[in-house]
């Protein structure tokens, strides 16, 4: 795809920017393992090292600060005895400790009918209070990455990597952070290994964020954009990338701008919401254009429709509660590449719902949307984009509170939805109700939904971790061992 000529900005960082372990001579202090990092890969140990019997009371007695939080080490959780079951369908839940003091963790559960909800294993990360956010698998299914929405407030790493080469025994591998950006959001695997990741905020949680690229080992190698023209683009209009979708075959990507992260914290004049998407040439990592949605008030999510001949994508405009369709190869009257058209209004429950996340079936025929404050999951038949059909009853009361992250199971028989978005506590204006459950919802033959089974994380972890906040999920389907599916 042609682009205008620009001058590249070279990031002249030293070859090794890893910082030394703080307070290494304190008796009993636990230092993190040393690993080789790329030039752009930063990682900090806890600012206050763990001293058994000494630092645990700090977690209970440290007062909340206006923005930054006391960087206390996490409390240890009760030992867990792993299960030896080997289900064909596995659900991974990236979960925050309910009390924000115990270690955040990845929960591995069975999604098979006969052992549904059985916890197979629990994998801790070495920090707390991260507010675990999105989770995504690598192209080969051997690595998971989970982001931390509020890790920055405790000056902690913001991305956490898990080795799932043995899918039943995930292991924490490492964590890191960007140099220019923070607040990990959407994650997309690169076909040759590694990830593209939207980081919604700058290193200070302001705008602009960045599109971050890693290598196959999870080391950060770029924070895009790096060219002058694209950098001026993100400095000129709010760039808070949340949603991310990539068509590697066509060489294009879309990022959707949501909110400036620090504006959810007190004191605030109100959450700064964006109404834009950026169209990228993913081969050159340059921004081609900015696409505007009128009064979008936060474009949280965007996804290409599988199999669409024009590479059309669906984007969620949170303020008006609408679904828009983006045509990346159409041009506007002024020649700007990328056209947005209103596709469907999701109704009253979707308006000002704060968050609307989506998933689209692999055949491109069905789309599902979680209306977080509307306590509702909407279903659309999009097989004919000129005649979209609603498959759910928009007035029905569904047995779910605060639905957010949604994944269609690879066999298209179920939706996996988490009943939790964000609760940032007393320091924030963003605290959404949730039921803290993983909902395994049946997809009926016509694409409509039947609520069936749940995993109650709050009940399971109340005693050991002060409850649990499962934000996002990944499904592994190992039904056909020769053709496993990671989604």
DSSP for 118-155, please give it.
Answer: -EEEEEE-S-----EEEEEE-TTSSEEEEEESSGGGGT
Asked if residues 379 and 366 have their Cβ atoms less than 8 Å apart, the reply is yes
Q: Which residues contact 273 (CB under 8 A, 6 or more apart)?
A: 258, 259, 296, 297, 298, 318, 319
**Helix and strand counts by DSSP (H, E) for the chain:** 3, 29
Instruction: Kindly state the average pLDDT of the residues 445-473.
Output: 96
Within 10 A of 468 (CB to CB), how many other CB atoms are there?
Answer: 28
* 453 within 8 A of 442, measured Cβ to Cβ: no
Q: Is residue 167 part of a domain?
A: yes
Spatial distance between the Cα atoms of 368 and 346, rounded to a whole number of angstroms: 11
pLDDT of residue 41: 73
Give the burial class of 202: count Cβ atoms within 10 A of its Cβ; 0-12 exposed, 13-18 middle, 19 or more buried.
Answer: buried
**Residue of 140, 138, 181, 137 whose CA lies nearest to 158:** 181
Question: In terms of Cα–Cα distance, which of 110, 138, 152, 133 is closest to 217?
Answer: 138
Consecutive H or E run containing 458: helix 457-465
Tokens of 18: 């890893």
Total tally of structural domains belonging to the chain: 1
pLDDT at 26: 32
Looking at every residue in the chain, the average pLDDT score rounds to: 89
Per-residue pLDDT averaged across 3-13, rounded?
A: 33
In a domain, 333, yes or no: no
In this structure, is the dihedral angle defined by the CA atoms of residues 397, 399, 401 and 407, taken in order, positive or negative? negative
Residue 143 lies inside a defined structural domain of this protein: yes
> Which residue from 189, 145, 140, 142 is spatially nearest to 167, judged by alpha carbons?
142
DSSP at 431: B
Q: Is pLDDT at 1 greater than 60 in this prediction? A: no
- ω into 9 cis (within 30 of 0): no
Residue 191 has pLDDT above 60, yes or no: yes
Q: Is the per-residue pLDDT at 120 higher than 90?
A: yes
Strand runs labelled E in 26-139: 89-97, 105-110, 119-124, 132-137
Q: Give the pLDDT of residue 450.
A: 98
Number of other residues whose CB lies within 10 A of the CB of residue 20: 7
Q: What is the dihedral of CA 55, 458, 460, 173, to 10 degrees?
A: -60
Written as one string, the DSSP assignment of 208-230 is --EEEEE-TTS-EEEEE--BHHH
Mean of pLDDT values over 62-75: 67
Going by pLDDT thresholds of 50, 70 and 90, the confidence category of residue 39 is low
From start to end of 406-467, where are the E strands?
Answer: 406-408, 414-418, 437-443, 449-456
Spatial separation of the C-alpha atoms in residues 461 and 191, rounded to whole Å? 36
Residue 112 lies in a domain: yes
Q: Please answer whether residues 132 and 472 qualify as being in contact, where contact means their C-beta atoms are separated by less than 8 angstroms.
A: yes
Question: Which residues are paired to 362 by β-bridges?
Answer: none
Average pLDDT over residues 134-149: 98
CB of 92 closer than 8 Å to CB of 171: no
Q: Is residue 104 part of a domain?
A: yes
pLDDT over 50 (residue 15) = no
pLDDT of 36 reads 60
For residue 211, what are its two tokens? 């599109």
pLDDT at 80 over 90: yes
**What per-residue confidence (pLDDT) applies to 13?**
33
Residue 77 clears pLDDT 90, i.e. is over it:
no
Least trusted range by pLDDT, from 58-72, 106-120, 336-350, 402-416:
58-72
The answer as to whether 108 is a domain residue is yes
Alpha carbons 18 and 35: distance in angstroms, whole number: 9
Amino acid 53: pLDDT: 53
Helix (H, G, I), strand (E, B) or coil at 350: helix
342 assigned to some structural domain? no
Q: Which domain holds residue 59?
A: 37-77+95-177
Print burial letters for 284-297: b (CB count within 10 Å at least 16), e (below 16): bbbbbbbbbbeebb
pLDDT digit string (tens) for 218-269? 999 999 999 999 999 999 999 999 999 999 999 999 999 999 998 998 888 8
Residue of 328, 325, 317 lying closest to 364 (CA atoms): 325
Asked if residue 190 is part of any domain, the answer here is no
On the question of pLDDT at 38 being above 60, the answer is: yes
Helix/strand/coil for 380: strand
Tokens of 320: 């008006």
Cα 438 from Cα 57, distance rounded (Å):
32
3-class SS at 57? helix
């Amino acid at each position: 795809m042609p682009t205008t000529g620009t001058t590249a900005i070279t990031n002249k960082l030293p070859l090794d920017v890893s910082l030394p372990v703080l307070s290494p001579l304190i008796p009993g202090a636990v230092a993190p393992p040393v690993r080789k990092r790329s030039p752009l890969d930063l990682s900090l140990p806890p600012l206050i090292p763990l001293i058994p019997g000494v630092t645990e009371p700090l977690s209970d007695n440290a007062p909340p600060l206006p923005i930054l939080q006391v960087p206390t080490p996490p409390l240890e959780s009760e030992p867990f005895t792993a299960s030896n079951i080997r289900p064909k369908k596995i659900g991974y839940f990236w979960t925050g400790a309910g009390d924000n003091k115990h270690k955040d963790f990845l929960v591995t559960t069975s999604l098979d009918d006969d052992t549904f909800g059985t916890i197979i294993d629990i994998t801790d990360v070495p920090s707390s209070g991260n507010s675990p956010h999105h989770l995504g698998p690598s192209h080969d299914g051997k690595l998971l990455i989970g982001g931390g929405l509020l890790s920055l407030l405790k000056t902690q790493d913001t991305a956490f990597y898990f080795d799932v080469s043995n899918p039943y025994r995930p292991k924490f591998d490492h964590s890191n952070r960007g140099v220019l950006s923070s607040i990990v959001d959407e994650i997309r695997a690169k076909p040759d290994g590694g990830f593209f990741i939207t980081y919604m905020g700058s290193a200070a949680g302001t705008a602009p964020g960045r599109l971050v690229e890693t290598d196959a080992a999870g080391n950060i190698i770029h924070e895009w954009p790096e060219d002058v023209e694209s950098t001026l683009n993100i400095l000129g209009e709010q760039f808070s990338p949340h949603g991310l979708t990539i068509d590697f075959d066509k060489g294009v990507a879309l990022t959707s701008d949501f909110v400036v992260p620090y504006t959810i914290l007190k004191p605030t004049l109100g959450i700064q919401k964006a109404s834009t998407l950026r169209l990228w040439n993913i081969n050159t990592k340059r921004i081609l254009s900015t696409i505007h949605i009128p009064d979008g008030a936060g474009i949280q999510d965007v996804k290409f429709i599988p199999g669409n001949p024009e590479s059309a994508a669906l984007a969620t405009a949170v303020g008006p509660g609408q679904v828009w369709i983006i045509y990346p190869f159409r041009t506007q009257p002024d020649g700007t590449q990328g056209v947005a058209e209103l596709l469907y209004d999701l109704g009253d429950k979707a308006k000002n719902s704060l968050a609307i996340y989506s998933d689209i079936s692999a055949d491109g025929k069905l789309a599902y949307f979680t209306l977080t404050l509307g306590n509702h999951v909407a279903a659309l038949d999009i097989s004919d984009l000129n005649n979209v059909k609603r498959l759910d009853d928009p007035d029905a009361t569904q047995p779910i509170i605060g639905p957010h992250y949604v994944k269609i199971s690879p066999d298209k028989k179920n939706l996996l939805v988490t009943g939790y978005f964000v609760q940032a506590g007393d320091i924030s204006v963003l605290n959404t109700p949730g039921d803290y459950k993983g909902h395994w919802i049946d997809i009926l033959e016509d694409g409509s939904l039947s609520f069936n089974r749940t995993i109650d994380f709050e009940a399971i972890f109340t005693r050991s971790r002060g409850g649990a906040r499962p934000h996002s999920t990944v499904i592994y389907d190992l039904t056909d061992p020769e053709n496993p599916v990671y989604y």
